[in-house]
A = this chain, B = another copy of it.
Amino acid sequence: VTAGELFHAEVREQPAALRHLLERGQEICELGSRLAGLAPPVFRLVGHGSSDNAAAFGIYAFALIGGRTAMRDSISLTTYYDAEIDFSGSVVIALSQSGRTPDVVDYVERARARGATTVAVTNDPGSALGLAADLTVELQAGEEAAVAATKTYTNQLAALVLLAAGAAGRGPELIAALEHVTGLFEEAIALSEAAVSRLATVFGFTGRMFVIGRGLEFATARELALKLTETCGVAAEPMTATELVHGPIAVLDPLFPVWAIASNDAGLPSVQEAAQRAREVGATVVASGSAAETIAGAAYRLPIPAAPSPLDPLLSIVPGQLFAWALASAKGLDPDRPTHLTKVTLAK
Protein backbone atom coordinates (compact mmCIF):
# COMPACT_ATOMS: atom_id res chain seq x y z
CA VAL A 1 0.00 0.00 0.00
CA THR A 2 1.12 3.57 -0.61
CA ALA A 3 1.40 6.05 2.25
CA GLY A 4 -1.98 7.07 3.58
CA GLU A 5 -3.92 4.50 1.57
CA LEU A 6 -5.19 2.62 4.61
CA PHE A 7 -6.22 5.80 6.41
CA HIS A 8 -8.01 7.14 3.33
CA ALA A 9 -9.80 3.86 2.71
CA GLU A 10 -10.95 3.68 6.32
CA VAL A 11 -12.33 7.22 6.20
CA ARG A 12 -14.35 6.14 3.16
CA GLU A 13 -15.50 2.95 4.89
CA GLN A 14 -17.31 4.91 7.59
CA PRO A 15 -20.83 4.70 6.13
CA ALA A 16 -20.43 0.95 5.61
CA ALA A 17 -19.08 0.51 9.13
CA LEU A 18 -22.01 2.44 10.55
CA ARG A 19 -24.48 0.32 8.57
CA HIS A 20 -22.78 -2.77 9.96
CA LEU A 21 -23.15 -1.50 13.53
CA LEU A 22 -26.80 -0.65 12.94
CA GLU A 23 -27.54 -4.27 12.09
CA ARG A 24 -27.26 -4.71 15.85
CA GLY A 25 -28.81 -1.36 16.64
CA GLN A 26 -31.81 -2.72 18.46
CA GLU A 27 -29.68 -5.07 20.54
CA ILE A 28 -27.47 -2.17 21.69
CA CYS A 29 -30.55 -0.08 22.54
CA GLU A 30 -31.85 -2.96 24.64
CA LEU A 31 -28.57 -3.00 26.52
CA GLY A 32 -28.96 0.76 27.12
CA SER A 33 -32.42 0.11 28.46
CA ARG A 34 -31.09 -2.53 30.87
CA LEU A 35 -28.47 -0.07 32.11
CA ALA A 36 -31.12 2.59 32.72
CA GLY A 37 -33.00 0.02 34.77
CA LEU A 38 -30.12 0.10 37.24
CA ALA A 39 -30.96 3.80 37.82
CA PRO A 40 -27.32 4.93 37.96
CA PRO A 41 -26.98 8.56 39.10
CA VAL A 42 -24.22 9.02 36.53
CA PHE A 43 -22.75 7.12 33.59
CA ARG A 44 -18.97 6.93 33.90
CA LEU A 45 -17.19 6.99 30.52
CA VAL A 46 -13.51 6.14 30.16
CA GLY A 47 -11.03 5.87 27.29
CA HIS A 48 -7.79 7.35 25.97
CA GLY A 49 -7.07 9.27 22.77
CA SER A 50 -9.88 9.03 20.20
CA SER A 51 -11.90 6.92 22.64
CA ASP A 52 -11.72 9.75 25.18
CA ASN A 53 -12.89 12.14 22.46
CA ALA A 54 -15.85 9.84 21.80
CA ALA A 55 -16.55 9.97 25.55
CA ALA A 56 -16.65 13.79 25.33
CA PHE A 57 -19.45 13.35 22.79
CA GLY A 58 -21.12 10.75 24.99
CA ILE A 59 -21.71 13.34 27.72
CA TYR A 60 -23.88 15.28 25.28
CA ALA A 61 -25.55 12.20 23.81
CA PHE A 62 -26.77 11.01 27.21
CA ALA A 63 -27.92 14.48 28.30
CA LEU A 64 -29.57 15.59 25.07
CA ILE A 65 -31.26 12.30 24.24
CA GLY A 66 -32.41 11.44 27.73
CA GLY A 67 -31.53 14.15 30.27
CA ARG A 68 -29.00 11.85 31.92
CA THR A 69 -25.67 12.84 33.41
CA ALA A 70 -22.57 11.20 31.98
CA MET A 71 -18.99 12.12 32.81
CA ARG A 72 -15.48 11.36 31.61
CA ASP A 73 -14.29 9.60 34.73
CA SER A 74 -10.74 9.83 36.03
CA ILE A 75 -8.86 6.63 35.25
CA SER A 76 -5.90 7.60 37.41
CA LEU A 77 -7.95 7.98 40.61
CA THR A 78 -8.93 4.33 40.45
CA THR A 79 -5.94 2.79 38.71
CA TYR A 80 -3.01 4.69 40.24
CA TYR A 81 -4.31 6.30 43.42
CA ASP A 82 -6.60 3.40 44.34
CA ALA A 83 -9.06 5.98 45.70
CA GLU A 84 -11.81 4.49 47.83
CA ILE A 85 -14.65 5.43 45.52
CA ASP A 86 -17.97 3.70 46.00
CA PHE A 87 -18.97 2.33 42.60
CA SER A 88 -22.11 0.50 43.74
CA GLY A 89 -25.01 1.47 41.53
CA SER A 90 -22.62 2.99 38.98
CA VAL A 91 -22.53 2.18 35.30
CA VAL A 92 -19.15 2.28 33.55
CA ILE A 93 -18.84 2.47 29.78
CA ALA A 94 -15.24 1.79 28.76
CA LEU A 95 -14.17 2.62 25.21
CA SER A 96 -11.16 1.05 23.50
CA GLN A 97 -10.86 0.10 19.84
CA SER A 98 -8.35 -2.66 20.55
CA GLY A 99 -9.66 -3.52 24.01
CA ARG A 100 -6.04 -3.74 25.08
CA THR A 101 -5.34 -0.32 26.64
CA PRO A 102 -3.85 -1.50 29.96
CA ASP A 103 -5.07 1.17 32.35
CA VAL A 104 -8.59 1.12 30.90
CA VAL A 105 -8.69 -2.64 31.50
CA ASP A 106 -7.36 -2.12 35.02
CA TYR A 107 -9.93 0.61 35.73
CA VAL A 108 -12.76 -1.69 34.62
CA GLU A 109 -11.53 -4.56 36.78
CA ARG A 110 -11.33 -2.34 39.85
CA ALA A 111 -14.62 -0.53 39.23
CA ARG A 112 -16.37 -3.88 38.77
CA ALA A 113 -14.84 -5.22 41.97
CA ARG A 114 -16.15 -2.14 43.77
CA GLY A 115 -19.70 -2.70 42.53
CA ALA A 116 -20.02 -1.04 39.12
CA THR A 117 -21.83 -2.59 36.19
CA THR A 118 -19.26 -2.38 33.40
CA VAL A 119 -19.73 -2.27 29.64
CA ALA A 120 -16.88 -2.63 27.14
CA VAL A 121 -17.31 -0.85 23.80
CA THR A 122 -14.63 -2.37 21.61
CA ASN A 123 -13.84 -3.66 18.16
CA ASP A 124 -12.58 -6.88 19.73
CA PRO A 125 -15.00 -8.54 22.16
CA GLY A 126 -12.40 -11.23 22.86
CA SER A 127 -9.90 -8.66 24.10
CA ALA A 128 -8.80 -8.19 27.71
CA LEU A 129 -11.33 -5.36 28.04
CA GLY A 130 -14.13 -7.48 26.62
CA LEU A 131 -13.29 -10.23 29.09
CA ALA A 132 -12.99 -7.84 32.05
CA ALA A 133 -16.39 -6.18 31.59
CA ASP A 134 -19.83 -7.50 32.50
CA LEU A 135 -21.25 -6.63 29.08
CA THR A 136 -19.85 -5.88 25.64
CA VAL A 137 -20.87 -3.75 22.68
CA GLU A 138 -18.95 -4.81 19.59
CA LEU A 139 -18.06 -1.84 17.38
CA GLN A 140 -18.45 -3.86 14.17
CA ALA A 141 -16.14 -1.49 12.32
CA GLY A 142 -13.98 -4.20 10.75
CA GLU A 143 -10.22 -4.23 11.17
CA GLU A 144 -8.74 -0.74 11.46
CA ALA A 145 -5.22 -0.93 10.04
CA ALA A 146 -4.11 2.71 10.05
CA VAL A 147 -2.68 3.84 13.38
CA ALA A 148 -4.94 6.92 13.50
CA ALA A 149 -8.53 5.97 14.35
CA THR A 150 -11.34 6.93 11.96
CA LYS A 151 -14.18 4.46 11.45
CA THR A 152 -13.88 3.11 14.97
CA TYR A 153 -14.27 6.67 16.30
CA THR A 154 -17.49 7.33 14.39
CA ASN A 155 -18.83 3.90 15.35
CA GLN A 156 -18.03 4.70 19.00
CA LEU A 157 -20.15 7.85 18.67
CA ALA A 158 -22.97 5.80 17.17
CA ALA A 159 -22.70 3.13 19.87
CA LEU A 160 -23.01 5.82 22.56
CA VAL A 161 -26.07 7.25 20.79
CA LEU A 162 -27.66 3.79 20.74
CA LEU A 163 -26.95 3.20 24.43
CA ALA A 164 -28.31 6.66 25.34
CA ALA A 165 -31.34 6.15 23.13
CA GLY A 166 -32.09 2.79 24.71
CA ALA A 167 -31.69 4.29 28.17
CA ALA A 168 -34.21 6.99 27.20
CA GLY A 169 -36.72 4.62 25.57
CA ARG A 170 -36.06 6.33 22.23
CA GLY A 171 -34.37 3.48 20.37
CA PRO A 172 -36.42 3.34 17.15
CA GLU A 173 -36.25 7.11 16.64
CA LEU A 174 -32.48 7.28 17.00
CA ILE A 175 -31.89 4.13 14.96
CA ALA A 176 -33.84 5.77 12.13
CA ALA A 177 -31.84 8.98 12.53
CA LEU A 178 -28.56 7.04 12.39
CA GLU A 179 -29.75 5.19 9.28
CA HIS A 180 -30.40 8.58 7.71
CA VAL A 181 -26.83 9.61 8.59
CA THR A 182 -25.37 6.63 6.73
CA GLY A 183 -26.78 8.18 3.54
CA LEU A 184 -25.34 11.62 4.33
CA PHE A 185 -21.84 10.25 4.89
CA GLU A 186 -21.22 9.77 1.15
CA GLU A 187 -22.06 13.41 0.47
CA ALA A 188 -19.90 14.62 3.36
CA ILE A 189 -16.97 12.59 2.03
CA ALA A 190 -17.44 13.78 -1.56
CA LEU A 191 -17.74 17.45 -0.56
CA SER A 192 -14.68 17.23 1.68
CA GLU A 193 -12.51 15.36 -0.83
CA ALA A 194 -13.16 18.09 -3.35
CA ALA A 195 -11.96 20.78 -0.95
CA VAL A 196 -9.04 19.42 1.06
CA SER A 197 -6.27 19.25 -1.55
CA ARG A 198 -6.20 23.00 -2.11
CA LEU A 199 -6.37 23.63 1.62
CA ALA A 200 -3.50 21.23 2.31
CA THR A 201 -1.25 23.25 0.02
CA VAL A 202 -2.06 26.43 1.94
CA PHE A 203 -1.21 24.91 5.33
CA GLY A 204 1.95 23.02 4.35
CA PHE A 205 4.15 25.08 6.68
CA THR A 206 1.75 25.57 9.57
CA GLY A 207 3.24 24.33 12.83
CA ARG A 208 0.49 25.39 15.25
CA MET A 209 -3.26 25.63 15.18
CA PHE A 210 -6.18 25.97 17.57
CA VAL A 211 -9.29 23.90 16.90
CA ILE A 212 -12.42 25.26 18.54
CA GLY A 213 -15.89 23.85 19.07
CA ARG A 214 -18.53 24.11 21.75
CA GLY A 215 -20.96 21.72 23.35
CA LEU A 216 -21.64 18.73 21.13
CA GLU A 217 -18.86 19.71 18.74
CA PHE A 218 -16.11 20.02 21.32
CA ALA A 219 -15.56 16.30 20.79
CA THR A 220 -15.00 16.97 17.08
CA ALA A 221 -12.52 19.74 17.89
CA ARG A 222 -10.60 17.32 20.12
CA GLU A 223 -10.61 14.55 17.53
CA LEU A 224 -9.56 16.82 14.64
CA ALA A 225 -6.74 18.28 16.75
CA LEU A 226 -5.55 14.76 17.58
CA LYS A 227 -5.62 13.73 13.88
CA LEU A 228 -3.59 16.81 12.88
CA THR A 229 -1.14 16.28 15.71
CA GLU A 230 -0.56 12.59 15.21
CA THR A 231 -0.56 12.42 11.41
CA CYS A 232 0.60 15.87 10.21
CA GLY A 233 3.12 17.15 12.74
CA VAL A 234 0.90 20.16 13.47
CA ALA A 235 0.67 21.07 17.17
CA ALA A 236 -3.10 21.51 17.06
CA GLU A 237 -4.68 22.29 20.40
CA PRO A 238 -8.39 21.75 20.95
CA MET A 239 -10.32 24.11 23.18
CA THR A 240 -13.86 25.27 23.63
CA ALA A 241 -14.77 28.52 21.92
CA THR A 242 -15.16 30.01 25.39
CA GLU A 243 -11.71 28.89 26.51
CA LEU A 244 -10.14 30.58 23.48
CA VAL A 245 -11.51 33.94 24.53
CA HIS A 246 -10.47 33.35 28.17
CA GLY A 247 -6.73 33.42 27.47
CA PRO A 248 -5.24 31.63 24.46
CA ILE A 249 -6.46 34.36 22.09
CA ALA A 250 -3.41 36.25 23.40
CA VAL A 251 -1.04 34.12 21.29
CA LEU A 252 -2.89 34.39 17.96
CA ASP A 253 -1.37 36.15 14.96
CA PRO A 254 -1.75 35.88 11.16
CA LEU A 255 0.46 32.75 11.06
CA PHE A 256 -1.48 30.97 13.80
CA PRO A 257 -4.74 29.68 12.29
CA VAL A 258 -7.94 28.79 14.09
CA TRP A 259 -10.17 25.99 12.83
CA ALA A 260 -13.80 26.39 13.90
CA ILE A 261 -16.22 23.44 14.01
CA ALA A 262 -19.62 24.92 13.20
CA SER A 263 -22.86 22.97 13.41
CA ASN A 264 -26.25 24.56 13.50
CA ASP A 265 -27.03 23.99 17.18
CA ALA A 266 -27.09 25.81 20.50
CA GLY A 267 -23.30 25.90 20.72
CA LEU A 268 -22.96 27.83 17.44
CA PRO A 269 -23.23 31.43 18.70
CA SER A 270 -20.23 31.05 21.00
CA VAL A 271 -18.19 29.55 18.13
CA GLN A 272 -19.21 32.43 15.86
CA GLU A 273 -18.22 34.96 18.51
CA ALA A 274 -14.85 33.32 19.22
CA ALA A 275 -14.08 33.09 15.49
CA GLN A 276 -14.92 36.77 15.16
CA ARG A 277 -12.52 37.61 18.00
CA ALA A 278 -9.82 35.50 16.32
CA ARG A 279 -10.37 37.40 13.05
CA GLU A 280 -10.06 40.71 14.89
CA VAL A 281 -6.55 39.82 16.08
CA GLY A 282 -5.57 38.80 12.55
CA ALA A 283 -5.77 35.01 12.72
CA THR A 284 -6.72 33.01 9.64
CA VAL A 285 -9.97 31.15 10.28
CA VAL A 286 -11.01 27.85 8.70
CA ALA A 287 -14.61 26.74 9.24
CA SER A 288 -15.99 23.25 8.74
CA GLY A 289 -19.36 21.69 9.47
CA SER A 290 -22.95 22.07 8.47
CA ALA A 291 -22.94 25.73 9.54
CA ALA A 292 -19.51 26.59 8.08
CA GLU A 293 -21.05 29.31 5.96
CA THR A 294 -22.20 31.19 9.08
CA ILE A 295 -18.65 31.84 10.33
CA ALA A 296 -18.00 35.43 9.25
CA GLY A 297 -14.61 36.14 7.75
CA ALA A 298 -13.52 32.52 7.38
CA ALA A 299 -10.80 32.29 4.74
CA TYR A 300 -11.71 28.69 3.95
CA ARG A 301 -14.91 26.74 4.43
CA LEU A 302 -15.56 23.00 4.37
CA PRO A 303 -19.33 22.53 4.41
CA ILE A 304 -21.09 19.21 4.96
CA PRO A 305 -24.76 18.20 5.17
CA ALA A 306 -26.64 18.75 8.43
CA ALA A 307 -27.61 15.65 10.43
CA PRO A 308 -30.61 15.19 12.73
CA SER A 309 -29.80 16.41 16.27
CA PRO A 310 -27.63 15.34 18.11
CA LEU A 311 -25.87 13.39 15.37
CA ASP A 312 -23.93 16.18 13.62
CA PRO A 313 -20.60 15.08 15.14
CA LEU A 314 -20.67 11.81 13.19
CA LEU A 315 -20.32 13.85 10.00
CA SER A 316 -18.45 16.88 11.37
CA ILE A 317 -15.21 14.97 11.75
CA VAL A 318 -15.13 13.96 8.06
CA PRO A 319 -13.63 17.20 6.60
CA GLY A 320 -10.96 17.13 9.29
CA GLN A 321 -10.10 13.47 8.69
CA LEU A 322 -9.70 14.10 4.97
CA PHE A 323 -7.77 17.33 5.55
CA ALA A 324 -5.37 15.43 7.82
CA TRP A 325 -4.92 12.80 5.11
CA ALA A 326 -4.31 15.44 2.41
CA LEU A 327 -1.94 17.51 4.55
CA ALA A 328 0.09 14.50 5.66
CA SER A 329 0.37 13.42 2.04
CA ALA A 330 1.38 16.93 0.92
CA LYS A 331 4.09 16.95 3.59
CA GLY A 332 5.42 13.52 2.62
CA LEU A 333 4.27 11.95 5.88
CA ASP A 334 2.52 8.59 6.18
CA PRO A 335 -0.79 8.93 8.02
CA ASP A 336 -1.03 5.14 8.20
CA ARG A 337 2.04 4.92 10.40
CA PRO A 338 2.80 8.20 12.12
CA THR A 339 6.22 8.82 13.65
CA HIS A 340 6.76 7.41 17.15
CA LEU A 341 3.26 5.88 17.40
CA THR A 342 1.84 2.39 17.49
CA LYS A 343 -1.75 1.25 17.09
CA VAL A 344 -2.12 0.01 20.65
CA THR A 345 -0.61 2.35 23.20
CA LEU A 346 0.72 0.29 26.07
CA ALA A 347 2.18 3.24 27.94
CA LYS A 348 0.54 4.27 31.18
Contacts and interface: CB of A to CB of B under 8 A. Distances in A.
B248 A347 contact: no
Contacts of A20: none
Given A41-B42, A270-B80, A348-B270, A229 B242 contact: no
Contacts of A214: 76, 80
Given A42-B71, A235-B251, A63 B85 contact: yes
Interface of A: 41-42, 48-49, 52, 59-60, 63-64, 67-69, 71, 73-74, 76-77, 80-86, 103, 207-208, 214-216, 226, 229-231, 233-235, 237, 240, 242-243, 245-252, 256, 265-267, 269-270, 273-274, 277, 281, 338-341, 345, 347-348
A141 to B, nearest CB: 19
Nearest to A82: B266
Contact of A269 (B338, B341, B348): B348
B267 A347 contact: no
Contacts of A63: 74, 77, 81, 83, 85
A132 B235 CA distance: 40
Nearest to A346: B245
Nearest to A245: B347
Contact of A84 (B67, B84, B240): B67
Nearest to A246: B49
A42 to B, nearest CB: 5
Given A235-B235, A348-B270, A77 B215 contact: yes
Contacts of A347: 242, 245-246, 270, 273-274, 277
Contacts of A215: 74, 76-77, 80-81
A80 B339 contact: no
A281 B341 CA distance: 11
8 contacts: A63-B74, A63-B85, A64-B77, A207-B207, A208-B235, A245-B345, A250-B341, A252-B340
Contacts of A234: 251
Given A48-B242, A267-B76, A273-B347, A230 B248 contact: yes
A249 B341 contact: yes
B266 A251 contact: no
Given A42-B69, A71-B73, A81-B216, 12 more contacts: A49-B247, A60-B81, A64-B77, A67-B84, A69-B73, A80-B214, A81-B265, A233-B251, A246-B345, A247-B338, A249-B341, A273-B348
A60 B77 contact: yes
